[in-house]
Amino acid sequence: MGRSSKRKPLLEALEITDVAAEGKAIGRVEDRIVFVNNTVPGDVVDVQVRKKRRKFYEGYPVRFHSYSNIRTEPFCDHFGICGGCKWQALPYKKQLFYKQREVFNNLLRIGKVELPDTNPIVAAPDERFYRNKLEFTFSNKRWLTQAEVDSGEEISDNDGLGFHIPAMFDKVVDVKKCYLQDEPSNSIRLAIKEFAVENGFSFYDIRNKSGLLRTLTIRTTLLGEVMVIVIFGADDLKAREKLFSYLNIKFPNVTSWMYIINEKANDSYGDLDVYNWGGRSSIFEEMEGLKFKIGPKSFFQTNSKQAYNLYKIVRDFAALKGDEIVYDLYTGTGTIANFVAGKAKNVVGIEYVPEAIEDAVYNSKINNISNTSFFAGDIKELLTHDLLEKNGFPDVVITDPPRSGMHADVVHTLLNAGPQKIVYVSCNSATQARDINILDVRYRVTKIQPVDMFPHTHHVENVVLLERR
């Protein structure tokens, strides 16, 4: 097998045998692992290698000899080109199997601690249309399909509004229908594209850093509220008024019309003002009668229905009796803190985005919760002996860090603070396992609960209960 006609070989009739970390399908050639995009275990393919390293190859299939019998038909027309929903060819049950296994393997191999049985993964309530937030990019150089290229015809419509193609920063798939977010998301995106093209509004040129329309974010909630945020690359009042006036009439049920003007070279907008064109400047989500305000920059778990299940698991693992001091680290907009406050004596939330902390305080207020306090800053700096002394040493810590996990200083502060329980929520079980390994001197893992928030992707959330030895 394998011939090296060019420097990057073509591997013939390679059998895909498994799914490795990060959801990549793999086969093997002699002593090398081969990562192959857009395949599933059981496929037999010719693979064009595009990256060659001492221990592995990375490539893409150029010909299928046979298809795996576990395959299922991808439902999206953009499958294979767009970067999202890469696991569509795997049946959902198989996806859950690989996610559960990834969590277990990481805890075992990286954590190297004694483990209880892992609970079966909690499947997502919806396999499609489960996201409450999507961000689309405008580009004046959309990705052309193979059929368009093969047709040999001159392409007049080069504008696209959709998702970046992986590893091609200037190419965007013009999305016709996205299965990730419920209506009116698709209708709004399509209407904006059509209106912009008709009116000659320029789509952003990512290479030249110019153009009027830059990105579009749509946020929705289970209450039916919708926020639309358009980021403009230039301050063109006339065009802006024209666009929003049209949209406001076409979509009268949108709760919030927002915009940002970003004339910088990069897409980050954390430092930019957000303006309200019409409607409210925030939308609301609700869980168990508690309301949560979501502003244009606020973090909120992107799968609302499954976030509710996740929070219930956190609350079950914490098993609060009512007299505990609870710390909710990486609290975001204080959702978990407010969600468990009714069962605790006091809850302290810490988060480094100041606007999120403002939302957290606001969320306590509108829900008549008076036993929470929130602090804005880097947990590594804020979580000191002084802060613990002033606000009380924790009985229970809930921690939900970003993918990088907790800073080692934070882990050591927790070891010294010595809460009875730590409920560790993670979107990256590899870093979670690393942190658990350090905590092992004082804490043993007593419960493990993977949760699937993102069907058709390899991402998996995991909740671990650690109890003091």
CB of 392 to ligand SAM, least distance (A): 20
Specify the residue, 44 or 427, whose C-beta has the smaller distance to ligand SAM: 427
353 binds ligand SAM (CB under 6 A): yes
Structure tokens given for 426 = 């993670």
Q: Which stretch binds ligand SAM (CB under 6 A): 86-94, 136-144, 349-357, 389-397?
A: 349-357
266: Cβ–Cβ under 8 A, 6 or more apart, which residues?
none
Apex 294 CA angle, 288 and 296, nearest 5: 165
Nearest alpha-carbon partner for 364 in 337, 397, 344: 337
Q: Does 359 bind ligand SAM (CB under 6 A)?
A: no
> Which residue number, 116 or 354, has a Cβ lying nearer to ligand SAM?
354
Give the number of other Cβ atoms within 10 Å of residue 249's Cβ: 8
Question: Applying CB under 6 A, does 451 fall inside the site for ligand SAM?
Answer: no
Shortest approach of ligand SAM to residue 378 CB, angstroms? 4
The C-alpha atoms of residue 7 and residue 13 are separated, in whole angstroms, by 19
Binding residue for ligand SAM (CB under 6 A) from 102, 159, 225, 351? 351
Is 454 among the residues that bind ligand SAM (CB under 6 A)? no
Give the residue, chosen from 331, 346, 363, 429, that forms a contact with ligand SAM under the rule CB under 6 A: 331
Query: Please, are residues 210 and 180 in contact by the beta-carbon 8 Å criterion?
Result: no
Q: What CA–CA distance (Å, rounded) separates 130 from 383?
A: 35
State the DSSP H helix or E strand holding residue 361, giving kind and residue range, or none if neither. helix 354-366
Q: Is residue 327 within the footprint of ligand SAM (CB under 6 A)?
A: no
CB of residue 125 to ligand SAM, shortest distance in Å: 17
SS3 content of the chain, % helix, strand, coil (to 5): 25, 30, 45
Written as one string, the DSSP assignment of 443-468 is EEEEEEEEE--STTSS--EEEEEEEE
CB-nearer residue toward ligand SAM: 70 or 274: 274
Q: Is 314 in the site for ligand SAM (CB under 6 A)?
A: no
Residues 365-404, one symbol each (x = binds ligand SAM by CB under 6 A, - = not), give -------------xxx-------------------xxx--
Strands (E) located in 338-384? 346-351, 372-376
Contacts to ligand SAM from residues 253-312, by CB under 6 A: 299, 301
CB closer to ligand SAM, 240 vs 434:
434
Structure tokens given for 61 = 């299939």
**3-state class (DSSP) for residue 331:** coil
Q: Which is nearer to ligand SAM, 395 or 461 (CB)?
A: 461
Q: Which of the ranges 166-174, 188-196, 259-267, 352-360 carries the binding residues for ligand SAM, by CB under 6 A?
A: 352-360
| DSSP H or E stretch at residue 220 | strand 213-220
Closer CB to ligand SAM, 174 or 359, in the complex: 359
Q: Is 126 in the site for ligand SAM (CB under 6 A)?
A: no
Residue 159 near ligand SAM by CB under 6 A: no
Q: Is 427 a catalytic residue?
A: yes
**Closest CB to ligand SAM: residue number:** 332
Distance CA 217, CA 227 (A): 8
Judged by CB under 6 A, the residue of 60, 97, 352, 362 near ligand SAM is: 352
| Residue 339 Cβ vs ligand SAM, minimum distance, rounded to whole Å | 9
Which of 76, 85, 178, 427 is an active site residue? 427
The residue count for binding ligand SAM (CB under 6 A) is 17
Smallest gap from residue 236 Cβ to ligand SAM (A): 32
Report the residue number, 356 or 433, with the smaller CB distance to ligand SAM. 356
Token pair of 182, please?
A: 């419920």
Coil, strand or helix: which one is 354? Answer: helix
- Rg value, the chain, Cα: 24
Q: How many CA atoms lie within 13 A of 260 on its CB side?
A: 20
In order, the DSSP letters of 84-122 are: S-TTTTS-HHHHHHHHHHHHHHHIIIII-S---PPPPPB
Enzyme catalytic residues:
427
Chain residues that interact with ligand SAM, rule: CB under 6 A: 299, 301, 330-332, 335-336, 351-353, 356, 378-380, 400-402
